[in-house]
Each structure stands twice: as structure tokens, then as C-alpha cells.
Amino acid sequence: MRLVLVGTSHHHAPVELRERVALDREHSAQLSSQLGEAVCLSTCNRTELYVVADDAEEAERRAVAALAELEPQVEPALYRLRDQAAALHLFRVAAGLDSLVPGEGEILGQVRAAYEAGTPGFLLDRVFRQALHAGRKVRSQTAIGESPASVSSAAAALAEQVFGDLDGCRIMLIGVGKVGDQAARSLRTRGAEIVLTANSKTDRVQLEEELARVDVVVSSTSSRGYVLEAETVERARHGRQLLFIDLAVPRDLDPAIHELDGCYLYDIDDLEAIVSETLAGRRSEATRAEAIVATEAEKFHAWHASLDVVPAIASLRAHAEEIREAELRKAEGVLGRLDDTQRRAVESMTSQIVNKLLHLPTVRMKQAAVSADGVIYAEAVRHLFGLGEDER
């Protein structure tokens, strides 16, 4: 079984391209089902497809085609990883090490939600469970997530940079999900007043009325279209200066708003400069986190590689056990004269002989599995002991 990852992220594509391949939970689940054993992880920073198949080339082709069907221009921005590299990437994502804001806490819940909405089989179940374990371990054993500079807090910091002091600053918050709640908390702690909390279905007349008396608009809905158009903003603001912060992917706010005199629009990619200022104090913690993730990824690699030799080991042990039991049956005439204690002693002794004979070959096969020699060892054992010949 091969693990294949195809995706794009803020490292490879701007928000205007990422938003075209962004998927909500329902559509992520549908796409996962179409791809077989698959999980679709779609957040504001990334859309990634994790697929398991015997044919890695075919799995990668289908995953690329699925994303290209959403947006043909995304193909040059796609990265493709397999097996250990794909697992390591997922572990880094779950630990918050690949995020726009390193250490941000939202991603672990997003990875869990993607896993639960996907169609994981034996291999994906293992890799996602281990990724979640790695993410929790990083958070418990390092300080990378302390006082996290989330996207929401970065938005509040941007508003504070623009206005200097947010006391008395009036905020329109569009979006009542987790990101919106976090943005509201960050803004309130800086003294801002939330005058309207709306969603994508809020009456447009009400939004226009509020635009005439607010200073900042923060939007983070899951709408597939613009919540505010440039024409609406220009008509409603009556020449007032406004700051717009768009935390949504796909974007909520018409990019043309930025072209209006006195209007300043920042999307999620624009927050990167603010976020980078928070990174200096986290570098040592990030190094520790990377070490934890690398160790967990190596454990997964060893387990995944062992899948090639485990069937051969199991067959070898089953073969040896059959021989042991057959020889005991041949000696039944003698063994039958033994009492229960003596009989158990013979059973134990013969089992120990088998276990000791097979211990070193088993260890060596598992060690070889981590390298490219694993399959060769497995085939050699099958050949030397004639394993599976009866079935053939």
C-alpha cells in the first residue's frame, strides 16, 4: 500500500488561487469518497488530498485530476509527496509547523475533522491517528503554542497598528464561527467595541447601515460568494475611512474594495508580515517540535515498511508451528504416557525452541524492512522455506 499526497498551500499559491480549490466539510467528504481510501484536508491555508492505493502513479494522477477539475490553473502550484515524505508533511501540519502562524492551535482540530469526514482505511487510519498524536505531543512538550499568534489575533494586531489605540474603535464582525469568535475576543481585549455580529445571510440593508458608523470590518464566513461588494461599500460609507480584514477562504470581501480611496483591505495572505514578527521567540521551541515530529514520522516509517515483511514473518511462524505440532502428534504414543505436568513441559520446551530459532531472523527482517532490502528478505524467506507453495 502506498501513501500519496497531492496538494497546495500558502507556500505555493496565493489566496486568489487557493480559494478556488477550497472545500467545505460536505464537499471534502464527497471528494474523499470518490477517490476511495482518501482524506481531504481543506483549510484557509491549504487543500490537500491524502490517498492510499497499490499503484502510486495512478493515485497521484487521480488526485491531481480532482484538484484540476476544481481549478485548472492550480496544477503548477501542486506538490506531490509519497510514503514517508507524505507522512512527515502531515505530522508537521498537525503540529502547526507548516502553518502561516507556526504553533497555531486551530489546525489540529481541522486535521481531526478532515480525518473524520474522509474515507480512511487501514493505512490512513494509522497515519492520521499518529499525526494527531504528534500534534498533541508537540503542544504538551513544547511552548510553541504559548500565547499563540493566530490569524485572528494577527487581524486584531493589524487593526491596532492602523488605529494606534482601539479604545472606542467600532467593529463590524461578519461570521459567527470559530475564527470570528477568536477575532472578536482579540479585538475586545484591545478595547474595541463589536457593534454588529453578522453572517453571510444578514440583510444587506442592515450591513449598509452599519458601514456608515464602523471603523473596521472583519469577515470570516464560509460563503461561496462575496459578502460585501465594492459598490455597496462605496455607497454606504459616505466617504469615511474604513479598514477591511478578510479572514475567509474563499474570500468574503470584493478585492476591488482596496481600490476605493480611504479603504484598506487585507486578506489572509497579507497577515504574513505581521505573523512573522511573532516568530523570533518561537524558533528554539520550533526546533524541539521538529525533533518530536521527526521521531514520530520515523516510527510511522518503520511500521509502514514492516508491512512488507510482516506477512512473511507470520507465514514463517505459522509454518514452524505446524511442523512442531505435527512432530508432537507423531510422538503421541510416547507422550500419551506422560502426566499433565510433564505434557505441559514438553509443549513449553518445543515452543521455546521454535521461538528462539525464529527470534533473530524475525528481528533481522524487521530491521531490513526499514531499508530497501525488506522485500528482498521477505522473498528470500518465502523461497527458502517454501512458504505459500501449497497455495500456488
For residue 271, count CB atoms less than 10 angstroms from its CB and return exposed for 0-12, middle for 13-18, buried for 19 or more.
buried
Compute φ and ψ for 206, nearest 5 degrees.
Answer: -65, -40
Q: Max CA-CA distance within the chain?
A: 106
**What beta strand segments (E) does 166-262 contain?**
170-174, 193-198, 216-219, 242-246
Residue pointed to by grid coordinates 504574513: 272
- Active-site residue set: 44
**Of all helices (H) and strands (E), which one includes residue 361?**
helix 340-369
Residues 6+ apart with CB under 8 A from 349: none
DSSP conformational letter for 253? B
Chain-centroid distance of CA 119 in Å reads 14
Question: What distance in Å separates the CA atoms of residue 132 and residue 110, rounded to the nearest whole number?
Answer: 10
Contact 232, 201 (CB under 8 A): no
Between the CA atoms of 158, 160, 163 and 164, what dihedral angle is there, to the nearest 10 degrees? -130
SS3 state of residue 114: helix
Q: Round to whole Å and give the CA distance between 249 and 15.
A: 7
Measured CA to CA, the distance from residue 227 to residue 360 in angstroms comes to 66
Say if strands 216-219 and 170-174 run parallel, antiparallel, or are unpaired. parallel
158, 182 Cβ separation under 8 angstroms = no
Mapped onto helix, strand or coil, the DSSP state of residue 309 is coil
